[in-house]
Amino acid sequence: MPGIDEVALLAGVSTATVSRALSGKGQVSVATRERVLHAAKSLGYVVSSNASGLATGRTRNVGVVIPFLRRWFYSSVIEGAESSLLANGYDLTLYNLSGGGEERRSVFEHFLLRKRVDAVIAISLELTASETGRLLDLGKPIVGVGGPIPGVRTLSIDDVLVARLATEHLLSLGHTVIAHIGGDAESERDFHLPTNRRVGFEAALADAGLPSEPDLFEAADFTMEGGYRAAKQLLGRPHRRPTAIFAASDEMAIGAILAARDLGLHVPAEVSVIGVDDHELAEFFGLTTIAQYPALQGQMAVEILMDELHPGGEDRHALNTPLPFDLVVRQTTTRPPPR
Amino acid sequence: MPGIDEVALLAGVSTATVSRALSGKGQVSVATRERVLHAAKSLGYVVSSNASGLATGRTRNVGVVIPFLRRWFYSSVIEGAESSLLANGYDLTLYNLSGGGEERRSVFEHFLLRKRVDAVIAISLELTASETGRLLDLGKPIVGVGGPIPGVRTLSIDDVLVARLATEHLLSLGHTVIAHIGGDAESERDFHLPTNRRVGFEAALADAGLPSEPDLFEAADFTMEGGYRAAKQLLGRPHRRPTAIFAASDEMAIGAILAARDLGLHVPAEVSVIGVDDHELAEFFGLTTIAQYPALQGQMAVEILMDELHPGGEDRHALNTPLPFDLVVRQTTTRPPPR
DNA sequence: TTGAAAGCGCTAACAA
DNA sequence: TTGTTAGCGCTTTCAA
């Protein structure tokens, strides 16, 4: 593995010039640059990120912290962030917190602090003041995706509006007995996302002059199985069976579709179902849903970070950037059956 | 952010001693070590990985290269590797190749070479000689998971045996008209995994004295939707409808279950279905499958790497370590219907 | 057991 | 435009 001095030797210049030529900073004559580039290539030279990082204080690496990796949503965000970082010449170091409390502590107390990363993207995480504090003290920008972290630039979707849109879609089709499968206490811990979706749901009902009936709510854990169980409860009752279900995630919505099927109920003729996500399976199940775009979210987070790391563009991003979402109507929603 | 000299000052020793005390290398008196540890903690000192890496040549970081991130299998492998690395004090830097050829080149030509990682774990990837060559030249160990990379320590599952086991399960129940949903050309490119599973399938049939019928094979892309389509083809034919389907992945198997349902065929009474993976959804669908343990695979890869990085244990791992798999019988397989 | 000091490979003033 | 040189923060001989 050749070092910068071998390149300098071969190109007949000083190491400083090599550094300048390769980094693009500082003035280098075209001819010299050519020679340096050529020498570097012919030697297969690649800078040592350690040495460069030590000298500059920046590593061209960003840390991405997530609560889970195995959910479609998170891996999609990461995929978006990864390709965007790569395009910017940055590496992505992954910190998965699913191990639990001890793991979380060690990530924040040690790993993130050892100057390995220039910045941090925190996905669907509520950081404590001390966690953000230490990072910010180090001068490392943080961008949060999916939840309000005080004092930090964040990207988030307006869950109240998302739920309202889904509910209004059902209302506009004529449904009046609409059930909601939302999050349980466990999933609530992180982000109040379930609560916000429930609030939007109830607000839309209220606007339509409908009461919110506790019986029409079931809590689940955002998985297909959870949605299945919850929907069985909802659809199995002998009286006031809902004609539509709004599930707070596509996986739960798909579970609900399967539950309806198992009960012999036809979707959408007898039960309409709408979810949230536009999960990769949504198309396959013909699921009507509110699309959010996780890969785009990852990409947007990176763009904001790049702006912070390379200040130049003067257009400061707002402290909280709203994330886009859209109603995607497929085949699981229709008018309620005549009664 | 305090540096090593502040710790040294506070502890009343030299920086060399601090380094020794914290790294555990070299002799330090118990009393001194105590003082150093205490000073470090009270200052919130964390080593700079850049400086330490520059001085030692090792970074305590490993690169993990994967072809996709969003499939259950891959994110599970990563999750296993990540937690295991964390436990060893290592970071995980992720390189996702799903972007395509250009991305792959830049990862191998630049990113992996800039001395950011001590080692590389390549998941389900067939590396070219030049790709492995460069890495190995740098003295960076490589461990492959899921495919034979020449000259590199690998972990892999015996796909022929996996397929044989699945098929034998069906045969032992009395099935004689068994279809196979395998991989298409696209998915074949990487690992010959589909071919190997087909080979095992046909070998098992042959051993049972059954011919392999090309009509009973359908290619798909390892997704639920692909499995659904393939199964529709298989189960829709008017003559010699298979009584059992062996799908090369659980997602395809689940697609097959849904296809059977849509055709009004009862699983397992009229069609038995078996998959491979023990996907997180397998339990929910009651799917009989051959379990492989991706998180464990990630963890095992890390263990092998740690042995290579910290030579001490003399027990060299074999060049290729076989990965475990097990038949998990649930509710989607039974005897064929009487004819 | 401890300390002094020489790097690790690069970057960025500063000077030329 | 280019070269000289002093670090970046740590580890590791070597000597005490």
Residues in chain A: 339
* Phi and psi at residue B306, to the nearest 5°: -60, -40
Is strand D less than 7 A from the beta carbon of B20?
Answer: yes
| A144 contacts: CB under 8 Å, gap ≥ 6 | A121, A122, A123, A125, A127, A152, A153, A154, A155, A156
pLDDT tens, N- to C-terminus, chain B (339 residues) = 789 999 999 999 999 999 999 998 888 999 999 999 999 999 999 999 999 999 999 999 999 999 889 999 999 999 999 999 999 999 999 999 887 778 888 888 878 888 789 999 999 988 888 888 888 887 889 999 987 788 889 999 999 999 999 999 999 999 999 999 999 877 766 667 788 999 999 999 999 999 989 999 999 999 999 999 999 999 999 999 999 999 999 999 999 999 999 999 999 999 999 999 999 999 999 999 999 999 999 999 999 999 888 866 545 667 889 999 999 999 999 999 997
Report the DSSP pairing between strands A178-183 and A217-220. Answer: parallel
Q: Which residue of B has its CA nearest to A104?
A: B86
Whether A94 and B99 lie within 8 Å, measured CB to CB: no
Q: Which residues touch strand C (CB under 7 A)?
A: A 3-5, 15-16, 18-20, 22-23, 25, 45, 47-48, 51-52, 54-56; B 12-17, 20, 26-29, 31-33, 51, 54-55, 57
- Reading the block at residue A292, the tokens are 């959010």
CA-angle at A103, arms to A101 and A107, nearest 5°? 120
Helix (H) or strand (E) holding A200: helix A193-207
For residues B218 and B225, give the distance between their C-alpha atoms in angstroms, rounded to a whole number. 13
Query: 């059902």: which residue's tokens?
Result: A170
Contact A170, A272 (CB under 8 A): yes
A195: exposed, middle or buried (Cβ count in 10 Å: 0-12, 13-18, 19+): middle
Nucleotide closest in space to B8 (CA vs C1'): C3
Average pLDDT for chain A: 92
Whether B48 and A137 lie within 8 Å, measured CB to CB: no
Nearest to B70 among A72, A95, A137 (CB): A72
Helix (H) or strand (E) holding A244: strand A244-247
Q: Which of B94, B134, B138, B266 to mutate to test the interface with A (most CBs of A within 10 A)?
A: B94
Nearest to B76 among A70, A103, A138 (CB): A70
Q: Which residue of A has its CA nearest to B285?
A: A225
Per-residue pLDDT of A20-32, as tens digits, reads 999 988 889 999 9
Query: 């599970």: which residue's tokens?
Result: B76
Residues in chain B: 339
Is strand D less than 7 A from the beta carbon of B53?
Answer: no
Give B-chain residues touching A86 at CB under 8 angstroms: 95, 99, 103, 106-107, 111
3-state SS assignment for residue B313 = strand
Return positions of chain D under 7 A from a protein CB: 1-5, 7-13
Q: What's the pLDDT score for residue B51?
A: 95
Nucleotide closest in space to A19 (CA vs C1'): C11
Whether B50 and A53 lie within 8 Å, measured CB to CB: yes
Distances in Å between the alpha carbon of B123 and those of A334, B67, B94, B229, B298?
A: 44, 7, 11, 28, 9
For residues A254 and A266, give the distance between their C-alpha atoms in angstroms, rounded to a whole number. 14
3-state SS assignment for residue B32 = helix
Is strand D less than 7 A from the beta carbon of B16?
Answer: yes
3-state SS assignment for residue A145 = strand
| A123 contacts: CB under 8 Å, gap ≥ 6 | A64, A65, A66, A67, A74, A77, A78, A144, A145, A146
Nearest to A79 among B70, B92, B110 (CB): B70
Whether A50 and B72 lie within 8 Å, measured CB to CB: no
For residues A60 and A310, give the distance between their C-alpha atoms in angstroms, rounded to a whole number. 11
- Reading the block at residue A260, the tokens are 């309806």
For residues A24 and A2, give the distance between their C-alpha atoms in angstroms, rounded to a whole number. 20
Contact B269, B206 (CB under 8 A): no
Measure B81 CA to nearest chain A CA, in Å: 11
- CB neighbours (10 Å) of residue A329? 14
Closest residue (CA to C1') to nucleotide D5 in the complex: A16
Strands (E), chain B: 61-66, 91-96, 119-123, 142-145, 153-156, 178-183, 217-220, 244-247, 272-277, 288-292, 320-322, 325-328
Burial A83-118 (b: 16+ CB within 10 A, else e): bbbbeeebbbbbbbbbeeeebbebbbeebbbbbbbb
Using a CB–CB cutoff of 8 Å, tell me whether A54 touches chain B: yes
- Name the residue among A60, A179, A184 with its Cα closest to residue B50: A60
Q: What's the pLDDT score for residue A48?
A: 93
What is this structure's pTM?
Answer: 0.93
Whether A284 and B228 lie within 8 Å, measured CB to CB: yes
Q: Which residue of A has its CA nearest to B61?
A: A93
Helix (H) or strand (E) holding A153: strand A153-156
Q: Which residues of chain A fall short of a pLDDT of 70? A: 188-191, 311-317
- CB neighbours (10 Å) of residue A149? 22
Contact B50, A115 (CB under 8 A): yes
Contact B180, B230 (CB under 8 A): no
Per-residue pLDDT of A172-207, as tens digits, reads 999 999 999 999 877 766 667 788 999 999 999 999
A–B CB contacts, 8 A cutoff, strictly below:
135
Whether B99 and A93 lie within 8 Å, measured CB to CB: no
Nearest to B79 among A1, A76, A98 (CB): A98
The amino acid at A295: A
The amino acid at A233: Q
Which residue segments constitute the domains of chain B, with CATH numbers given?
A: 4-47 (1.10.260.40), 61-157+295-322 (3.40.50.2300), 159-291 (3.40.50.2300)
Distance of CA B165 to the CA centre of its chain: 20
Whether A86 and B79 lie within 8 Å, measured CB to CB: no
Whether B92 and A91 lie within 8 Å, measured CB to CB: no
Give A-chain residues touching B114 at CB under 8 angstroms: 46-49
B133 CA → D10 C1’, Å: 31
Q: What's the pLDDT score for residue B195?
A: 87
Q: What's the pLDDT score for residue A316?
A: 61
Q: What share of chain A is helix, strand, coil (3-state, %, to 5)?
A: 45, 15, 35
The dihedral sign for the CA sequence B25, B28, B31, B32: negative
Nearest to A50 among B98, B107, B115 (CB): B115
For residues A157 and A134, give the distance between their C-alpha atoms in angstroms, rounded to a whole number. 27
The dihedral sign for the CA sequence B275, B193, A68, B83: positive
The dihedral sign for the CA sequence B51, A97, B289, B69: negative
Is strand D less than 7 A from the beta carbon of B310?
Answer: no
Distances in Å between the alpha carbon of B275 and those of B235, B259, B264?
A: 16, 15, 21
Give B-chain residues touching A47 at CB under 8 angstroms: 114
| A-proximal residues of B, 229-268, CB under 8 Å | 261
For residues B4 and B26, give the distance between their C-alpha atoms in angstroms, rounded to a whole number. 17
Is strand D less than 7 A from the beta carbon of B5?
Answer: yes
